[in-house]
Amino acid sequence: MSAVCNPGSSPQTGVVNTATAPCRYGAVLVAASERGICDIQLGVDRETLVDNYRCTATNDVNWVVGDEQPEWLATVLKLVQNPKCALDYPLDVRGTTFQKLVWEALCNVSLGQTTTYSALAEAIGKPKAYRAVGAACGANRLALVIPCHRALRKGQGPLDYRWGADIKQQILMAEASWALDPP
């Protein structure tokens, strides 16, 4: 497992600093707690991301506005532009023990590759838990860092993705391109 995918911390309380920026997939929303980046969301536009985040945030939110870009946002934007770029910032991964097990297995899927929910279930030693694996992928709050976009339904293309099938397809195409011949 890479250092980027260290599913180690648990939910916490307190203020979460949050910022948005345009990116190659539309917009990105990044939230950082005192422990590290706890949320990376992708969407077609900033307004939808902000509205969705406000509905699901469990912490007090401090919206970072202005021209100055926080280090944690700049780090994520580098990752968005270059899928081979290591995320050089601490993470605050929040999830159940099972979710973290699935996410750790996802981090072992190479850039440019995909897997299925059933293959992930096999990889974690729970071959009948493919639906729960799909739910764990859907619960991932760290887009790109925990590569849930690399998980597909068996026999189907990229249909389900928390941030939309179109964005999932764009990410997979970008990663495949980088894996073969980085620009």
Q: Cite the beta strand spans of the chain per DSSP E.
A: 15-23, 26-32, 37-43, 60-63, 115-116, 151-152
The set of catalytic residues is 148
Instruction: Give every strand in the sheet of 37-43, ordered side by side.
Output: 37-43, 26-32, 15-23, 60-63
For residue 46, give the 3-state DSSP assignment.
helix
How far apart, in whole angstroms, are the C-alpha atoms of residue 135 and residue 32?
A: 24
